[in-house]
A and B are shown apart, each in its own frame.
Chain A
Amino acid sequence: RKEVEQDPGPFNVPEGATVAFNCTYSNSASQSFFWYRQDCRKEPKLLMSVYSSGNEDGRFTAQLNRASQYISLLIRDSKLSDSATYLCVVTHSRGSGNTGKLIFGQGTTLQVKP
């Protein structure tokens, strides 16, 4: 089983739709969680961190559920420019320490159509 798993999609949605992605992680000691965005043939860039209480940045909302070991990303009012691959990232912890390694999910592809 992969340490971080995402549904690869693709998710094809019309402009204006609301779309949600989930990501599950297997290591209950994981410390930090992030969503990255990657455009085709480009490097990933940080979209947002995910905090225990949930957080929002404009049309984007991230949630963390430690009990069920998943994080989610909600995109409201989808734009054409939201088309990209969204990568779930968790820090990898061993024992009581944080090794500093980040583990990526395989990414979820979103295609927003006119």
Chain B
Amino acid sequence: NAGVTQTPKFQVLKTGQSMTLQCAQDMNHEYMSWYRQDPGMGLRLIHYSVGAGITDQGEVPNGYNVSRSTTEDFPLRLLSAAPSQTSVYFCASRTREKLFFGSGTQLSVL
């Protein structure tokens, strides 16, 4: 199993550009989520999904969209990037007891 695969690892955007962060897992987990991590803030939940076709907002959803068309994939879309979205992003899937994280995306918005 590859676990949780997250791409890209690094990305630089200009303000107003759009992009999609990809996340895929091969463990057949129903629950997937996206977090952002900023210095001194810990990980904050952006959006999550409890199964294909079901998504919900987390703590900081503004400026981000998600969809869950399959169990495996959970992409995160930035429609119009802003400097405040500069952060490290982690995708995760989970069992009841454990979160499995992707390796992270370092995003800079200039």
Contacts and interface: CB of A to CB of B under 8 A. Distances in A.
Say whether A associates with B. Answer: yes
A46 B41 contact: no
Nearest to B38: A106
A49 B103 CA distance: 21
A104 B102 contact: no
Contacts of B31: 100
Interface string A71-114: 00000000000000001010000000001111111110000000
Contacts, number: 49
Interface residues of B, number: 24
Interface of A: 4, 6, 8, 32, 36, 41-46, 49, 87, 89, 99-107
Interface of B: 31, 33, 35, 40-45, 48, 50, 56, 58-59, 90, 94, 96-99, 101-104
